[in-house]
Structure 1
Amino acid sequence: MVSPGKIGYCLVCVGIIVYGIWDYLSNFEQNKCLMTYMFEMPEYIQLPLGKRLKENYPRYRLFIYGEGQYARKLESKRKVPVNGVPVLFIPGNAGSYRQARSLASVAHRRANDKRFSFHFNYFTIDFNEELSALYGGMLQSQTEFVHECVKKILSLYESNKPTSVVLVGHSMGGMIARALFTLPEFDQNSVNTIITQATPHQAPVISLDRMIATYYSRVNNYWRTHSNTTLKHVTVVSTGGGYRDVLVRNELTSLRGIADPDLSISTSTMSVPNAWVSTDHLCAVWCKQMVMLTKRAMFDIIDPATLQVTINTNERMNVFKHHFLSNPGTKKIPEYWRDEILLYEEIPWVVKKEKTWEFAKKRVLEDYYYAVPMDLEDVNSFVAISNVDLQDWICICKIERNEERCKTCKSLSQKGKIIPPFDSYRKIIHIDYKDYPEMTHVVLIITSGPNQVRTGLNQVRTGPNQVEVMGDSYNKDYRHLSYKLPSVPDILMTYPESVTKGVSVLTLYNDSLFYNLQLKGLDSVLRAYTAKLVPKHCTSNKDLHEGNMMSLHVPWSQEDVYSFSRLNEIGNLSIKLQSLASPVEDNNESVELRIYKDPTCSYQLKIIASPTESLGQFIRFYGKLFPSFMLAIVLMGLVFQLHQIRRERKCPDIIEAIASFGAPFKILPVVVIFRFILNNESFEGLITRFGLPQEDGRELTKSGLYSATLPLMLYIISLGVVNVHCYLLIMALNIISKVAAVLFGWIPSLLFTFCEKIKVILLILAILTSCILCGSLGIIISYICFVLQLARLCHLARVLKHRNDTTKFNLGVTILLIYLWVVALSFPASISWAKNMRYTFILPDDSNKLMSVLSVLSISCLVVLDNPISARESYLYVAPAVYVVNVLLLLYGMVSLYRIVYAVTSVLLGLAVTRMVYYFKHGQHIDIGQDKSD
């Protein structure tokens, strides 16, 4: 009987997984993306590719996008008339060519409405919605087809002939865009701009087969080694979706360590200026905020002389930085910034000697210069927020002796930064007085409302009617604070207040606009908190203010997170990391919580521990590591079962076996020792020399995700989950056997013998299918046969209570649990096979065919030769071999999940070979349909 303590332990482990998955899949902001609308019907005109390409790539097609009159024009011509800027959209995993609509439609409408002298021709590829992220056998053919499409697109142009194509890749489409450069016949100059959306550049989201891992390794190694040669003309932009993208976490979309940082940009849609939204994996292609700024950037990189993408990489990078990283408040990148601004005498000069002040009016009838003295007592910094829609809105100057005001000033507007909410025109700037020792005043320019006369600066205000300008002169010692976040013991000691009322409270008083809180101790992705900004008392008219903003600034990545709240609302901001790839030189930098509040209001800042978000982070970063640990625990149970069969001629059930031999100290110390040896410098050189793979812990270490306690934590949680899994599987087999006994109990035994022969026929079919058509399909057929075999054994063990039947059943359950991982990991390949049946009955590039055939053969042998006691003497050698495979699994299969198939296949093959050797050695006759006993 299972003890209550063990039941509680198992439920806790399952609860950790369930709550973590729930938080991961649901605990994020609502979708704030606006829709992109159309005024005419979209049409996709298929382009002829020629007989050769049709034969080589029958599954793929190339389209050009059109709508309305433009589409009629494209369809009416025998040869497609194109004379614009070519853009090729590459869909990703299970992606559709129709996903190009949003970008293409906005580009078409903008070119028509703004009457540009150029336009964009959008091409898009149909990959038959293949699962390229789950089955790597499609990636190389997709890459080669894109290469042919690039050549085809450039050949269509007769006038204004371009030399390059802009590539826009969603998901795996971004990897394919970068993989083009690894093709030996690819013209490197035919692509100079790549924009990727939610593309996992760093590594596959999940490595289900060897071909995906090989593809990534080849592409990323090429980009690392050729960034200053064949890739020095290519600029790349990569955006991740933030918390809402539960398929590709933001860390994987970074180009850090892959592309030249001077030629690449990696950011999150949550950080992109004038977007500030988290996008799910599909929303990335249609989110209006991102579509609009992406198109603005693409329009801005066009050279007016050639009407094609500029070949100047610095110009392209400046445009991309403006739109994707740090926008000072202008939609279009300015042609130049004024060094000096002329200040007109007729505009009033208003000196603001208060340290904190505001200017808020619904309508401004005249222009002002608000001058802030820099010599205020105990002040060394200044922060300002303004929604005045001018390119030059703030400057700094020196009042000469015997003068009352400045005549000119030096513009600082380019150092400003646009802030939420969306389309509010709000900009912020921080000025450190020590950088300008000769200056005396900061000048903020306030203009009259829209549709009125031009200001003295010869600029027209087009922003919101309501004008809001705030300034705050302060001493950094009082506003730049440091706070050490509470650790897990601190949270437990103050529970439940730590997760309800907050682990810390900071009062933000009136007469302050800005606070900067350095968060010490946020050094793990598992630590999660929530910042709450609670309003207490306000003395001003709330209708004149936009609201408050909090931002989480991560200094080692472009992943700042923003939260905006109205004055009467409680502001909430999640404090957790999207990545931990901070290099050594960044170790002294801390994450910062920046707060911009109404200076006429007081607030309480609460930082609350968030255990559920910590569990969500755990699943986000470590969820894919569980399969190898869960399998390792089952294999430890198998080792014990084999020893018991050899010694006592009986097999305990898997739950008992795991309880006896599944303790973490029986395998993890061995794994740790081998990991230490493999990471030793001398062995590392030997491994490199022989071309052997690095153990998976190194990849986690590079990402900052590995710790000494990680394997133990994963093992302990997996242990509880596996126990529940085993119990549910045994219960399911019992139910199936009982239902089958009721439904088919009347069938004569002779017919049962015939069914047993049918089972063998199905196994032969599985072997032939895995050899010829698709390895994964054969695995599924053999798995079904094995489940039926176990259901029958369950019935025999329950009714006849024969010890041999019980042994067969108990060992069979363990084998079923092991084989289940092969089925799960190879299942995407069977889906790819089904999707391509109308083109070919044979799965292209089936990299796991050999392992699949060996697995099916092994299972077939174990089904037919179903007496495990017969070969018990050989378990003296098989059991240690399984243990060695288990150690290798935890070394090389944590991240590279496709190696799980190798581990399981080797175990099944070992069991099958021992039984075959026994039967052939003793010359026993295999009688199908009868129960064989020792």
Structure 2
Amino acid sequence: MFMFRNCAVLLVIGSACCFIFGLFNLQAEVEPNACRMTYMFGEPMYARVRVQDGDQYPNYGLYYYYEGVKQPLDPLKSRMTGAPVIFVPGNAGSYKQVRSLGSVALRKGRDNDAGIHLDYYTIDYDEELSALYGGYLPRQQIFLKLCIRTILSIYEGRAEKPSIVLIGHSMGGKLAQSVLTDSAIAQHINTIISISTPLDQPVLNLDSELEAFYWQTDTVLGKMRTSTVPTSTTNVCDSLHQKPPSVQRMANQESSRRLDNVLLISTGGGNRDLLVRPGLTNSRFNDLHAMTSAIPRVSLSCDHLSAVWCLQFMQAINRFLFSMAHLRDDRSSVVFGTNKQRNLQSALHTFVKPRRRQQSFGRLGFNSGSWHEERRLVINKYFANGLKGTYLELIGLHRQERYKKMAIEALNVDDADWLFGCSAEEHDGSGQLYCDKVTSLMHLVQRLPNEDRDARSVAILDMHNLRRTYLEWTHVVVRLPPGNRRIGYNLDIYDPKERVMDIQMPRWYTMAKLPLINETLQGTLHLRLRISGLLDPYQSLRINVEPLQCVQPEYRVTARLCVPWAAGFDRFQTLKSADQKPQLFANVPTLVPRHYNTTLNPVTLDLYLDPICRYRISYEYSYTSALSRLVLEFYGWLPAHFACVLLIVLRKQVATFHEVGTFRSLRPYVGYLQYTSLFVVTACRLLKKLIITSGFLPEPEPLDYSINVSIIIHCAAIALSLIATLATWLALTLYGNAFYRLALRLTTLSQTTSNVIVSIVTHLPITFGVLTIATAMGTCSGVGLLLAFIFYFLMLSNAYKDYLEDFLWQKAANLVRGKPKATAPTPALKPEDASSEEEGQEDQDLVAAGEDQAEEEEPEPCVGLHNFSFHVTLLLMLLIQLLLNGPASLAWLRSRHHGIVLPDPGLYPSIVVMASLSLLLQLRAPQKCAGYWLLSIVFYFLAGVVLLYCQAAVYRLNFVFAGAFALLAAHQTLWMLIRRLS
């Protein structure tokens, strides 16, 4: 048992250190910000648009964006001819965030010869914290609908039905999606683009209003729109995207599924976005998802705020919008096309990969170009000063049987067609082969991200498949256009058995670096790694690509990571020079679906190597990245685990009351130095399966992650409870008077008045409950809880400050000079513990009865601190309740200036807590009574409820704490009644 206890202590310390290490290394995989700023060519202007029936939303507004026009503009009185776009800001977002999107669109419209332009509108939500408090969302949704109706009225004179595009950032994307639940509005929505939006679940579920908003939206969309769920054989790495719905299927749909005609596109910022992790940005209702790091011509990661001003990304969005827009037949105005199939193809072209059809051409430069033929397996040709004429290279398809794959890379060919297939023939008896007719293979070309060096375009061809498909083909043609810029191409023909490697994800306890390739062959262009066992978002594999024997000091290695069950999460990483750490990271954005066949469809990592070097490649488990991802993915579980620890501590304290029979021998730290709460974590895993199988209880939260995650988070919560307890001790000892003075200043009460109030509350604590509950009902739950916390803190400080100071000084002295022989403490009671002389006599009798045991155990003197640990636990639980209701309190403070009434989802649980706490103080709890064993069992049950139902839905902790306080108050009251009656 002693060894198990030591192992548990080491586990707690190690897990806490891991959590802290991950917290300080959140930037482990974060790349530098490569976004270019978007500059306005004129002064940004915002014209206020009067919203129909919008008078009941005085703090909201609708604006039209324009630039460089000094005269004010009113869209309601002007003739608007552009295609309408509405920008919906998110959590704490400003309506002015539209200026980057709007400015790029204005410039593109001025340079557009076809006369296509866009009208950008933006909504002012008063920078409300909609991600933290869900009570804002219904109001914002209604106002967004009113704005849509207002804008439709501006364009109602058109012959065609008005069609609007919504662009939502952060929570604005969820608001934009939610308006589809209104069929009258949904018929006018063309496309919705969400930017860094948590679509199917919030980042932190802090109140019931937020959960209800998500549930209502997803329920309606589930009935009116087709959802996409990965099957056990889905492999998005084999295709560019999920199969789009056909035009015929959409036309024959029932009315209940007509929302499929709305194009939904979601985008994520990548590893730089530490607020909304990538796995939350996709939705099962989306038609297309893309990460900014994989979008062509963007190829970088955006943090949560830069996603609305990053020039490369803004250009991509507007490029797509302009591709959808067209002039009416009478050329009077611009409208968005309503053909979803065509719009989806435009989206694929913009956000996934430029699509090119196979086209047949005539002879390529037979007269003006120079033809060459190469028979080698590896070719590296560069023209440092460019080419004066077209250069054409013929590469034969007929090779040895084992050479099935051909990797071809072209440098600096921009968007020109450079790869073709053909049947070569000899002309004029010269022995020179030419192609009279060629077919483009550009649909097989992948353009790799490029920042500041040669632009790389790569194609991986299956020569056997080409020969079977095109029986007459004999060669592949590489065409290099003329120019002054450095240009060239690389060829690598290989046996796929030598380049496709299967590796197993190392276990977390594997410390060694595992070799993969000691040295690649010169000219190697492509390698594919198939990674098995990479299933959880917190796992991270580090691949080390060390350059050897480089011809030039600078090189470029690009890696493409593809997760087969997560569409749109392709990730590109680039190594540039020897000064950079030669490491790449592989991880997944979401947990692998149940019953998914990862053996057939593992995670793949394609390495596009620079052939100027040889490379040594190895891999290892990345502890730094894994711990940082663990913190980023699961920090939201910490409140639930912290609450579970406090409930187990409280259970230990009340169980000790029952076992000891007297409070005289209780130390102030009883219950906190525990590890038994770890048993609750393991027990809940088994209990969850039982609940799901039996079906007699509500189904627990579907959190199917490894138990290692729960243990690390829980051990961090144990360490946090110890730190919070020690901080509370120090605050009560050192800062009680400071908090008292601060409370006087905040409440603007005089010293005399405050002394009277404190005296009344101390001697008649029931007034404490009346005052705090009245405050909560008159204002909000957070204000009442804050007042309760301050009173409770000051009462504990007044009652225990001197005793705690003596105890801490004595402990410090024992540590300095060595602990002296302990003696049994002098019998003493706190004044508030003795309700009568008979109770005092009873205590002395209990002390005398246990005197022999006290001398045997030699307890430390803890005079005056017998109930202290119990009250500290309740104080910490009250603090958590206060923090959970903090966002609602901030919302109340902001709304009172506008006379707006917002829901307070934590009001009733808070009233229960404050009433129970005042009753406990009135009864001088905890009393010496029976029944604590039953309470300890109930607290065990509540701790399990927390881990089963409150890890994701954090707001449910309000009800658990309310139940715990109510049980304590009911127990103490019942015992008091029984004693009085007897």
TM-score, L = length of structure 2: 0.82
Match of 2:133 in 1: 135
- Are the aligned partners of 1:207 and 1:898 in contact in 2 as well (CA < 8 Å)? yes
**Does residue 1:396 correspond to 2:455, yes or no?**
no
Tell me which of 21, 37, 40 is aligned to 2:39: 37
- Shift in Å at residue 868 of structure 1? 1.7
- Are the aligned partners of 2:395 and 2:477 in contact in 1 as well (CA < 8 Å)? yes
Tell me which of 424, 428, 434 is aligned to 2:458: 428
Could you report, residue by residue, the CA deviation over 1:697-740 in whole angstroms, capped at 9, with x for unpaired residues?
Answer: x2x23xxxx23555444434433332333233223322234878
Alignment of 1:765-780 (within 5 A): 765-780=771-786
- Are the aligned partners of 2:82 and 2:118 in contact in 1 as well (CA < 8 Å)? yes
Q: Which amino acid aligns with 1:292?
A: Q
- Are the aligned partners of 1:635 and 1:883 in contact in 2 as well (CA < 8 Å)? yes
Separation in 1 of the partners of 2:769 and 2:436?
92
- Shift in Å at residue 208 of structure 1? 0.6
**Does residue 1:908 correspond to 2:965, yes or no?**
yes
1:146 to 1:477, Cα distance in 2 relative to 1, 3 A: same
Tell me which of 663, 687, 690 is aligned to 1:674: 687
Alignment of 1:637-648 (within 5 A): 637-647=649-659, 648=661
1:357 to 1:305, Cα distance in 2 relative to 1, 3 A: farther
**Does residue 1:630 correspond to 2:642, yes or no?**
yes
1:732 to 1:14, Cα distance in 2 relative to 1, 3 A: farther
- Shift in Å at residue 654 of structure 1? 6.9
Identity among equivalent positions (%) equals 24
Match of 2:409 in 1: 385
Alignment of 1:601-616 (within 5 A): 601-616=613-628
User: For 2:478, what is the secondary structure of its paired residue?
Assistant: strand
- Shift in Å at residue 773 of structure 1? 2.1
**Does residue 1:547 correspond to 2:556, yes or no?**
yes
Q: Which amino acid aligns with 1:788?
A: L
- Are the aligned partners of 1:356 and 1:599 in contact in 2 as well (CA < 8 Å)? no
User: For 1:74, what is the secondary structure of its paired residue?
Assistant: coil
User: For 1:436, what is the secondary structure of its paired residue?
Assistant: helix
Separation in 1 of the partners of 2:524 and 2:201?
45
Match of 2:839 in 1: none
Could you report, residue by residue, the CA deviation over 1:542-572 in whole angstroms, capped at 9, with x for unpaired residues?
Answer: 78xx733222232332222222233555543
1:167 to 1:748, Cα distance in 2 relative to 1, 3 A: closer
- Shift in Å at residue 299 of structure 1? 0.7
- Shift in Å at residue 436 of structure 1? 1.5
- Shift in Å at residue 5 of structure 1? 8.3
Please give the root-mean-square deviation of Cα atoms over the aligned residues, in Å.
3.1
Tell me which of 508, 511, 526 is aligned to 2:538: 526
- Are the aligned partners of 1:525 and 1:617 in contact in 2 as well (CA < 8 Å)? yes
Separation in 2 of the partners of 1:748 and 1:224?
61
1:11 to 1:736, Cα distance in 2 relative to 1, 3 A: farther
Larger mean Cα displacement after TM superposition, 791-800 or 111-120: 791-800
- Shift in Å at residue 891 of structure 1? 1.4
Alignment of 1:55-454 (within 5 A): 55=56, 57-69=57-69, 72=71, 74-75=73-74, 79-157=77-155, 160=158, 163-183=162-182, 186-228=184-226, 229-255=257-283, 257-259=284-286, 264-305=287-328, 307-327=334-354, 338-346=359-367, 347-361=369-383, 362-377=385-400, 378-386=402-410, 387-400=412-425, 404-422=433-451, 425-437=455-467, 438=471, 439-449=473-483
Tell me which of 444, 451, 473 is aligned to 2:493: 473
Larger mean Cα displacement after TM superposition, 23-32 or 711-720: 711-720
Separation in 2 of the partners of 1:763 and 1:289?
58
Separation in 2 of the partners of 1:542 and 1:281?
35
Separation in 2 of the partners of 1:273 and 1:113?
22
Which is greater in Rg?
2
- Shift in Å at residue 321 of structure 1? 1.0
Q: Which amino acid aligns with 1:523?
A: L
User: For 1:89, what is the secondary structure of its paired residue?
Assistant: strand
Match of 2:893 in 1: 834
Tell me which of 929, 953, 969 is aligned to 1:896: 953
Separation in 1 of the partners of 2:871 and 2:350?
60
Match of 2:590 in 1: 579
- Shift in Å at residue 877 of structure 1? 4.0
- Are the aligned partners of 2:644 and 2:677 in contact in 1 as well (CA < 8 Å)? no
**Length, aligned pairs only:** 864
- Shift in Å at residue 516 of structure 1? 1.5
- Are the aligned partners of 2:8 and 2:675 in contact in 1 as well (CA < 8 Å)? no
- Shift in Å at residue 274 of structure 1? 1.9
1:503 to 1:604, Cα distance in 2 relative to 1, 3 A: closer
- Shift in Å at residue 876 of structure 1? 4.8
User: For 2:375, what is the secondary structure of its paired residue?
Assistant: coil
1:25 to 1:781, Cα distance in 2 relative to 1, 3 A: farther
**Does residue 1:786 correspond to 2:792, yes or no?**
yes
Separation in 1 of the partners of 2:576 and 2:274?
29
- Are the aligned partners of 1:147 and 1:186 in contact in 2 as well (CA < 8 Å)? no
- Shift in Å at residue 809 of structure 1? 2.1
Separation in 2 of the partners of 1:791 and 1:380?
79
Larger mean Cα displacement after TM superposition, 300-309 or 131-140: 300-309
- Are the aligned partners of 1:534 and 1:569 in contact in 2 as well (CA < 8 Å)? no
Could you report, residue by residue, the CA deviation over 1:331-390 in whole angstroms, capped at 9, with x for unpaired residues?
Answer: xxx7x6524454232121111212111232232111011111111334211111223134
Could you report, residue by residue, the CA deviation over 1:425-460 in whole angstroms, capped at 9, with x for unpaired residues?
Answer: 43211111122212211111111017xxxxxxxxxx
Tell me which of 881, 894, 903 is aligned to 1:845: 903
Q: Which amino acid aligns with 2:108?
A: R
TM-score, L = length of structure 1: 0.86
1:413 to 1:505, Cα distance in 2 relative to 1, 3 A: closer
- Shift in Å at residue 214 of structure 1? 1.6
- Are the aligned partners of 1:793 and 1:809 in contact in 2 as well (CA < 8 Å)? no
Could you report, residue by residue, the CA deviation over 1:814-836 in whole angstroms, capped at 9, with x for unpaired residues?
Answer: 10122222112111111111222
Separation in 1 of the partners of 2:882 and 2:542?
40
1:146 to 1:441, Cα distance in 2 relative to 1, 3 A: same
Larger mean Cα displacement after TM superposition, 237-246 or 558-567: 558-567
Segments of structure 2 that go 5 or more residues without pairing to the other structure are: 227-256, 744-749, 807-827, 834-863
- Shift in Å at residue 466 of structure 1? 2.0
- Are the aligned partners of 2:520 and 2:614 in contact in 1 as well (CA < 8 Å)? yes
Match of 2:717 in 1: 718
Match of 2:242 in 1: none
Separation in 1 of the partners of 2:727 and 2:805?
21
- Shift in Å at residue 37 of structure 1? 0.9
- Shift in Å at residue 762 of structure 1? 6.7
Separation in 2 of the partners of 1:611 and 1:716?
18
1:743 to 1:565, Cα distance in 2 relative to 1, 3 A: closer
1:542 to 1:630, Cα distance in 2 relative to 1, 3 A: closer
Separation in 1 of the partners of 2:354 and 2:216?
35
Could you report, residue by residue, the CA deviation over 1:240-289 in whole angstroms, capped at 9, with x for unpaired residues?
Answer: 1111111111001112x334xxxx11121122222121111111111111
Separation in 2 of the partners of 1:743 and 1:188?
53
